[in-house]
Chain A
Amino acid sequence: MAGVSLLTYGFVFLTPGDPAYTILREQRQSPPSERQVEAFRAEHGLDEPFFVQYLSWLTDAVRGDLGTSYYRSEPVTSLLIEHIPNTLELALAAMAVSLLLAVPTGVVSAVHRDTWLDRTSQFVALLGVSMPNFWLGYLLILICSLWLGLTPVSGSGTLGHLVLPAITLGTGMAAIVTRLVRTSMLEVLEAEYIDTARSKGVRERLVVYKHALRNALIPVVTIVGLQFGFVLNGAVIVEVVFQRPGLGTLLVDAIFARDYPIVQGVVLVTAFAFVLTNQLVDLAYVALDPRIDRRGGEQP
């Protein structure tokens, strides 16, 4: 995390041009004087050497203070707290959509392997990973909101506002998960205990859903967890499409406004969330699969 924070903070120093100058010029609509630039730098601590700035930012960050926005003069932390729930809501809804779509499709695909059912669902999955999600978003707006009038076009708040963004974001993920469920199911269905179950006379439906699916879902859990990063990526664009106030819109606006404290804050939070989910996935994996021991090696 230390490296992550250093990288996050370091980005500002890649900027061509002086942020103080740019921001003041845009705020005042005229080139600022040398003295005003100096004053702005001093106010935001931009006149100190890089490592001094970084350390003071980091110590504040650990205490939960990520600085103040250049433009809105609001603390970054409170802006983040304001926007995180919207993104989280979208991410969870999208994951739910993707699981609802992917698990049944993947199972059907594996059980009816090499039939037209399988081929169709594989093709749809390929389509799902290959469509740009912002485009899918607009198509859905066009069809569901403008033509059919079922859902509101943009904004947030009600369940209706959540449906389209969640579908948009969930589809891309569903495609990946479908493929995974399919391969995982195929592998499990070939295992000996499945043959055993069948020869005992257990009904096929029970074999598939009770014996096979349970084991097949273990690797799926991992990938779904790792997909969280994918969801964060996608959320940025989907939020812009549907004009949902979330971390994504906050980030994009801040980038264009060169409001670096916000940019740093959002990046740090997403990276932190990403690392945290990866850790949780590791823990979940151990909890789900008793065959894996806690030192990471697989027992024979």
Chain B
Amino acid sequence: MWPRLHPSSLLERGRTLVDSQRGRAIRRNPHLRLGGGIVCLLAIVSIVGPVITPYDPSAQALEARLQGPSVAHPLGTDALGRDVATRLVYGARISLALALVATTVRLVIGTTIGLIAGYGGGVVDAIVMRVVDIQLAFPGLVLALVIAGVLGPSLTNVIIALSVVGWATYARVVRGSVLSVKDRAYVESARLYGTPRRRIARRHLLPTILNPVLVLATLNLGTVVLAAAGLSFLGLGAQPPTAEWGTMIADGRTYLRSAPWLITVPGVAIAVTVIAFNLLGDGLRDVLDPDHLEDRERRRT
């Protein structure tokens, strides 16, 4: 078996990053601070929110249907009298969890395959990259739609569909960075020293490729949130009565004129989440990936 990304090595990486000089750059970067702040806020809301709210996300109260924002229901109620704010925080749980799981699966599959291709070389590389090309020949969402549709609508199948679709980019990035470091002197000397291939891959190659992968994954979180909401909106994701942002918009569209808050609220939630992940990703790239230095900094050097 080829080396996998161990959570402990990721943690270790995170710790060294925070302690290092880069750590200071990370804490100073405005994008990172804003994006990170929003993500933390969202995480807190999704954990604490369901505990605080007095309402049940799927209990119907037909006498209170389609009410505008009020003190009892700060964001109004939907067509079945359910509290929109409550459904929103439960939806945050689903969206964040989904984004994390799907991105992790993509990352693990893609990184492993990229390592195999880059380090294996030759025939292995050729075959693997062919598969990657085929995968990238499909417009992603169309493919995810078909997979989710064929497997049947459910959240698990959305995760499967989004993972099957997204791994190829990681494989490409990882293969590229492996090829760029594979023949450097320190890897060569490790090989001459008789270090097993598996150990070389884990100890010497993995750390170098981790930065671009981390950046990609963070930016990916936002894409996954959007794609998952889109699939749910089409009816292929979370099934009623589960509170999910995409489904909430799909439910609210019938009452566009009479209750515009029903689509506005979850839409804003999705947009804010994606903005946060994008800011976080941009910030991380500025700090971790010297090739993408902001023009300002490039000028200074």
Contacts and interface: CB of A to CB of B under 8 A. Distances in A.
Interface of A: 1, 3-4, 7, 11-12, 14-16, 113-114, 126-127, 129-132, 134-136, 138-139, 141-142, 146, 183, 186-187, 229-230, 232-234, 236-237, 240-241, 251-252, 255-256, 263, 266-267, 270-271, 274-275
A270 B145 contact: no
B249 A135 contact: yes
B260 interface: yes
A90 to B, nearest CB: 14
B2 interface: no
A114 B274 contact: no
A233 B150 contact: no
Interface of B: 130-131, 133-134, 137-143, 145-147, 149-152, 222, 226, 229-230, 233-236, 246, 249, 253, 256-257, 260, 263-264, 266-267, 270-272, 274-275, 278-279, 295-296
16 contacts: A7-B138, A12-B150, A126-B275, A130-B275, A131-B271, A131-B274, A132-B249, A134-B230, A142-B257, A183-B295, A233-B140, A236-B234, A237-B141, A240-B234, A263-B149, A271-B139
A127 B279 CA distance: 11
Contacts, number: 131
Contacts of A126: 275, 278-279
A178 to B, nearest CB: 14
B226 A132 contact: yes
- Find the residue from A127, A129, A252 having the highest chain B CB count within 10 A: A129
The prevalent SS among residues of A at the interface is helix
B256 A130 contact: no
A135 B271 contact: yes
Given A130-B274, A132-B270, A138-B249, A11 B150 contact: yes
Contacts of B146: 11, 251, 255, 263, 267
Nearest to B230: A237
Contact of B142 (A183, A187, A236): A236
Contact of A4 (B134, B222, B271, B279): B134
